[in-house]
């Protein structure tokens, strides 16, 4: 029995053309935060202690950790957080040999939820105005698909990376059940995010939130996400989760994987690509020429969180002339100082950050010098 999306008209309220950098920096912070999960074997046995430790690293007091959902066999970790206005599911990227084995399982598997989805009942987003009213959207939903869409989505099954899919399925039921309970308690927008492998898992999760839970107020932001599925999956995904931003650091090799081989010619990226580089450039939805010029070369370093941090930081500094300081929760000051202190923007930024942290450090020193008045006199 195929799933019919009678409530997909609600997707029009999520405008994928609205790009707010402050929200993307927050998504980066959350994607970085989840890497603290599963660092030790004991984390599987004592999740309460791990939650208490990670909660201290959250620099936004509005967010509280709800649960850490993890699977030991696949070494998959999902950190669920919530505020009064948002539910967040952030997935950890490749951090172990088990994760590396997951990455290498590049054969394609049929995505069961996407296959059951009735594509002809989904309104097309391509080429339409973002200000369409509900009546016009309903007309679009009833319009017959072109012959190309029908051949693509009726004859070709939506397929995804089998390794990513297996890792996601290991936590799928627990993640979706928890998100549904949180949303039923207090309906609010949902964000799925992650870096590298975590980005691929976030894509699969955000799609299922729409497809299975029928919640349409979903956004997805990924950093260094590899290709997840084929063109048939991309078409259905982009209709279900139009507000998806895929940050790609120039020369990041992982974003070009899996490669297009005779066995996997149809691997493609999903969402709106946001191309960034270490020179402070940012291009949203780059065309073929811009991709050819800016997204060339291969670098393992460009895939790291530090490299994405630097590219985001430089764009913010050079575009806003020090008027806007992005709030990164974890500041790799030593990394910036050692490798990029020759850049005037980074020099000024480090001075500002040091000046802001100095009063806090002074208060801590004075606090430590206060004698213990409760101790008895000698």
What is the tens place of the pLDDT at every residue in 192-251?
A: 999 999 999 999 999 999 999 999 899 999 999 999 999 889 999 999 999 999 999 998
Other C-beta atoms closer than 10 Å to the C-beta of 176 total 17
Report whether pLDDT(350) > 60.
yes
Q: If we measure between CA atoms, which residue out of 179, 215, 184 comes closest to residue 67?
A: 179
Q: What is the pLDDT of residue 252?
A: 93
Report whether pLDDT(322) > 60.
yes
Number of H helices, E strands in the chain: 14, 10
What is the tens place of the pLDDT at every residue in 109-126?
A: 999 888 887 654 544 444
Q: What is the pLDDT of residue 262?
A: 61
List alpha helices for the chain, DSSP H: 21-33, 47-55, 97-104, 112-116, 134-142, 147-150, 162-169, 172-185, 197-211, 231-240, 288-294, 305-320, 333-340, 344-369
What is the tens place of the pLDDT at every residue in 250-269?
A: 989 999 999 876 655 578 99
What is the tens place of the pLDDT at every residue in 282-305?
A: 999 998 888 888 888 788 889 999
What sign does the dihedral 270-276-277-282 (CA atoms) show? Answer: positive
Q: If we measure between CA atoms, which residue out of 233, 235, 222 comes closest to residue 274?
A: 222
Please report where in the chains the tokens 């699969």 appear, as a residue.
Answer: 204
Better-scored residue on pLDDT, 185 or 40: 185
Give the range among 56-60, 82-86, 168-172 with minimum mean pLDDT.
56-60
Alpha-carbon gap, residue 55 to 64, rounded angstroms = 7
Q: CB neighbours of 266 closer than 8 A, spacing ≥ 6?
A: 159, 230, 231, 232
Half-sphere CA count of 194, side-chain side, radius 13 A: 29
Token pair, residue 265, equals 């010619």
Over residues 76-102, mean pLDDT: 95
Please report where in the chains the tokens 């997707």 appear, as a residue.
Answer: 11
In total, the chain counts a number of residues equal to 378
Local confidence band at 29 (pLDDT 50, 70, 90 cut-offs): very high
For the chain, the straight-line distance linking the first and the last C-alpha, in angstroms and rounded, comes to 82
Q: What is the pLDDT of residue 212?
A: 93
Q: What is the pLDDT of residue 131?
A: 41
- Whether the full predicted model's pTM is greater than 0.85, yes or no, is no
Local confidence band at 336 (pLDDT 50, 70, 90 cut-offs): confident
Whether 250 and 295 have beta carbons less than 8 Å apart is answered as: yes
244, β-bridge pairs: 220
Alpha-carbon gap, residue 143 to 181, rounded angstroms = 35
Over residues 6-31, mean pLDDT: 71
The architecture (CATH level 2) of 8-330 comes to 3-Layer(aba) Sandwich (3.40)
- Give percent above pLDDT 90 in the chain: 46
Whether 110 and 158 have beta carbons less than 8 Å apart is answered as: yes
Using DSSP, state whether 28 is helix, strand or coil. helix
Mean pLDDT taken over the chain: 80
Q: What is the pLDDT of residue 88?
A: 98
Whether 225 and 200 have beta carbons less than 8 Å apart is answered as: yes
Q: φ and ψ at 106, to 5 degrees?
A: -90, 0
- Whether omega before 5 lies within 30 degrees of 0, making that bond cis, reads no
Q: What is the pLDDT of residue 28?
A: 95
Token pair, residue 238, equals 């982009």
333-340 and 344-369 helices cross at what angle (nearest 10)? 140
What is the tens place of the pLDDT at every residue in 166-204?
A: 999 999 999 999 999 999 999 999 999 999 999 999 999
Q: What is the pLDDT of residue 176?
A: 98
Q: If we measure between CA atoms, which residue out of 82, 93, 37 comes closest to residue 308?
A: 93
């Amino acid at each position: 029995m195929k799933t019919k999306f009678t409530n997909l008209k609600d997707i029009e309220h999520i405008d994928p053309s609205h790009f707010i950098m402050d929200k993307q920096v927050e998504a980066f912070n959350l994607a970085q935060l989840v890497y603290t999960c599963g660092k030790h074997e004991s984390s599987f046995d004592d999740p309460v202690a791990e939650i208490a430790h990670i909660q201290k690293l959250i620099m936004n007091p509005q967010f509280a950790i709800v649960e850490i959902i993890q699977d030991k066999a696949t070494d998959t970790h999902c950190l669920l957080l919530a505020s009064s206005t948002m539910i967040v599911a952030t997935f950890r990227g490749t951090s172990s040999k088990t994760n590396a084995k997951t990455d290498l399982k590049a054969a394609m598997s049929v995505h069961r939820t996407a296959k059951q989805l009735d594509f002809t009942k989904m309104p097309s987003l391509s080429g339409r105005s973002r200000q369409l009213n509900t009546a016009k959207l309903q007309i679009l939903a009833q319009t017959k698909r072109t012959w190309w869409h029908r051949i693509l989505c009726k004859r070709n099954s939506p397929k995804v990376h089998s390794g990513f899919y297996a890792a996601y399925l290991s936590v799928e039921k627990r993640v979706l059940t928890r998100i549904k309970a949180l949303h039923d308690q207090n309906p609010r927008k949902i964000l799925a995010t992650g870096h590298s492998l975590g980005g691929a898992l976030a894509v699969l999760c955000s799609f299922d939130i729409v497809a299975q839970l029928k919640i349409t107020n979903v956004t997805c932001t990924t950093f260094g996400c590899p290709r997840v599925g084929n063109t048939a999956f991309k078409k259905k995904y982009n209709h279900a989760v139009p507000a998806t931003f895929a940050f790609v650091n120039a020369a990041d090799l992982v974003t070009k994987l899996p490669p297009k081989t005779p066995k996997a010619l149809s691997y493609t990226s999903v969402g709106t690509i946001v191309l960034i580089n270490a020179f402070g450039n940012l291009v949203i939805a780059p065309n073929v020429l811009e991709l050819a010029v800016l997204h060339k070369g291969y670098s393992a370093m460009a895939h790291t969180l530090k490299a994405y941090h630097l590219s985001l930081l430089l764009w913010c500094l050079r575009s806003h002339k020090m008027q806007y300081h992005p709030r990164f929760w974890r500041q790799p000051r030593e990394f910036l100082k050692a490798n990029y202190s020759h850049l005037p923007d980074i020099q000024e930024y480090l001075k500002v950050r040091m000046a802001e942290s100095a009063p806090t450090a002074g208060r801590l020193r004075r606090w430590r010098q206060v004698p213990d008045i409760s101790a008895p006199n000698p």
